[in-house]
Structure 1
Amino acid sequence: MFSWVYILLAVVVIYIIISVALYYLQEYFIFKPEKLDKDFEFYYNNQTVEEYNLKTRDGAIINGLHFKVEKPKGVVLYLKGNSKSIKGWGKFAVDFTRHGYEVVMLDYRGFGKSTGRRSFKALKRDLQFVYNKIKEKVNEKYIILYGRSMGSGFAAKLASINNPKMLILDAPYYSLTKVAAKFIPFMPVSLIMRYPIPTYKWLKYVNCPIHIIHGTHDKLIPFKSSVKLSKIRPKLTRLYTVIGGGHKNLNNFESYHRMLGEIINSRMKRINFSETSIGVNHSSKQVNA
């Protein structure tokens, strides 16, 4: 009898120790930063780019890149995924500058040249800080929010409390907590997650057009997560499917670039649904003369 009690107590203690460890060490699993020397110089072929450093109210430095074009149609705030630095992510700016849009990228705290103690609250505050800086020079109706993977959640958060032209989510999480639960199903994930990134909650408050792009062969974030997200604000949302696309290779598909071009160059047109087939009752019965 007592042996079973000891075993049960041992299991409980081990469970608590693992939970505490996951709470404090989860950053090592979530974030995969690449750090750059202060004197590192960014360079991209055929791109006009300017590096910037913004100092936050707590003394952190947010480092980023501003890709410029002549007579811009607007600006894309590109929020990258959870790995590397903007040194590598900068290559994707051409997908927007080629359409006449400037691009602003940034490294999260602890990534690249950015500094500061990282926390969920600090990350959200930093992104709003950068968004506000853009608003000082660009009307919101010309700002596009683009979030890739982990960045899609933060992009949804920004869109939920601001009024950008549109929100584009690339391979978005439904919730990082739910993703984590798949890998550690027996742990109290909802209690220990310091970076829950609840995209689905923030999406409820977005009032601009929402465009979701996802590959059907994404093994990290299943395509069904985007299907679920698309149902949250269905009247504002369009879901784009990249057949055969994985999590990191959508830029290698021609269909992705066609979709992206259609999205950022499109204009939302109001439809008079009374003139469409919605609600029309089609009957096979013949009316007697």
Structure 2
Amino acid sequence: MVSIETAAAAIGAAYGFLVLGAALFQRQLQYRPHARHTPIELSGLAGGEELRLTTSDGELLVAWHFAPEPGKPLVLYFHGAAGSLVKRVPRLRLFIESGFGVLMVSYRGYGGSSGTPTEAGLLLDADCAYRAACARYGADRLIIVGASLGAGVAVALAARREARALVLLAPFLSAMDLAARRFPFLPVRWLMRDPFRSDLAMPRVRMPVLVIHGESDPIVPIESGMRLFELANEPKTFLAVPGGGHIVLGSAGVFAKMRAWIDGVASISEPAAPPREVGSL
């Protein structure tokens, strides 16, 4: 018969191995890149160019660039945790067909880019992409857009740099908060190396903010996006999408509403447009 002490020791050892595994492999859980590079010529999108950008720490990044139509802004787009640039072709097409320009960077370790993804590294990648966009169009013509993990990158960038506006798709309060919700039995707040503290960065953002979140998002609960929105400065707008999932731009009518908001913000002169209440656009 197994003694209580032996059983407790076995449980303790198993938990210790679980904590050790989480500590060692957390970045494999957080980042899910496709390392294979798909050239822009195979994307099915016309009129773009593939850039090679060098970060301040020497990594070589692939980026796709589509010039905006006259009078339209450039969307500086930061994608989510999984896949590669080619996975975002349907969303890219929406922006391009609306006349917006796009510059989207493949993070370090993702399709065609050197290095390994970390929070600090992704923020350097964002700075690199921002410099490339500003060199072509100037900060006042940029709309920073971040989706899911990319929302954490976008908020951190917007807290440090200037742009016309910030759009967040399925953002989170922090990656640490999400991990703690998903793994309540682990000491996540002590283990996590890449916490993406958007909750700390958002109060420093000084530009119009639009947050779009699906009410049925199974990956980032809408409550997380709402809590982040509460920390944003005015002017700000929250769009809750009934029945919307994690890829919220795929929901009917959402892109048209976002496009109208961007057009309005991009066409205004200083001072910024008056704040809008939480609710539907």
TM-score band by shorter chain is: 0.7 to 0.9
Check 1:86–1:191 CA distance in 2 against 1; reply closer, same or farther (3 A cut). Answer: same
**Contact kept? 1:165, 1:208, Cα under 8 Å:** yes
Q: Is the CA contact 1:44–1:91 (under 8 Å) kept in the aligned structure 2? A: no
Distance 1:72 1:49 in 2: 18
Question: Post-superposition shift, 1:270?
Answer: 4.2
Between 1:51-60 and 1:79-88, the stretch displaced more is: 51-60
Residue 198 of structure 1 aligns to which amino acid in structure 2?
A: R
1:234 to 1:159, Cα distance in 2 relative to 1, 3 A:
closer
Question: What secondary structure does 1:53 align onto?
Answer: strand
Is 1:56 paired with 2:55? Answer: yes
Deviation for aligned residue 1:9: 4.6
1:64 is paired with a residue whose SS is strand
- 3-state SS, counterpart of residue 151 of structure 1: helix
Shift of 1:7: 4.6
Question: Cα gap change, 1:148/1:23 in structure 2, threshold over 3 Å: closer, same or farther?
Answer: same
CA distance in 1, matches of 2:105, 2:45: 20
Q: Which 5+ residue runs of structure 1 have no aligned equivalent?
A: 272-289
**Contact (CA 8 Å) 1:164, 1:208: kept in 2 or not?**
yes
More divergent stretch after superposition (3-12 vs 85-94) = 3-12
115-124 vs 8-17, greater mean Cα deviation: 8-17
Which of 243, 260, 263 is the equivalent residue of 1:262? 260
SS in 2 for 1:97: helix
User: What one-letter code is carried by the residue in structure 2 that aligns with 1:239?
Assistant: F
The 2-side partners of 1:180 and 1:116 are apart by: 24
Of structures 1 and 2, the larger Rg is shown by 1
SS class of match (2:42): coil
Check whether the contact 2:80–2:148 (CA below 8 A) recurs between aligned residues.
yes
**TM-score (norm: length of structure 1):** 0.85
Aligned partners of 1:200, 1:102: CA distance in 2, in Å?
29
Give 1:88's aligned residue: 87
Moved more, 68-77 or 81-90: 68-77
Aligned-residue offset at 1:171: 0.7
Q: 1:161 to 1:29 in 2, by over 3 A?
A: same
The alignment status of 1:73 with 2:48, answered yes or no, reads: no
Q: Which position in structure 2 is the counterpart of 1:21?
A: 21
Task: Report the CA distance between 1:204 and its aligned residue.
Answer: 1.1
Is 1:30 aligned with 2:30? yes
Which residue does the alignment assign to 2:278?
none
Structure 2, unmatched stretches of 5+, are 276-281
Change in 2 beyond 3 A, CA 1:142/1:41: closer
Instruction: Report if the CA contact (8 A) 1:90-1:105 is conserved.
Output: no
Alpha-carbon distance change, 238 to 179 in structure 1, aligned in 2, over 3 angstroms: same
Whether contact under 8 Å (1:23, 1:192) holds in the other structure is yes
8 A Cα contact 1:72 1:101, kept in partner: no
- 3-state DSSP of counterpart to 1:42: helix
Find the residue that maps to 2:41 and give its secondary structure. coil
184-193 vs 125-134, which deviates more? 125-134
Deviation at 1:142, TM superposition (A): 0.8
Q: Describe how 1:91-240 pairs up with structure 2 within 5 A.
A: 91-233=90-232, 235-240=234-239
Distance between the aligned counterparts of 1:41 and 1:141, measured in 2? 27
1:126 counterpart SS class: helix
- Per-residue CA distance 1:228-255 (angstroms, 9 max, x = gap): 122112533210121211112532412x
Structure-2-length-normalised TM-score: 0.87
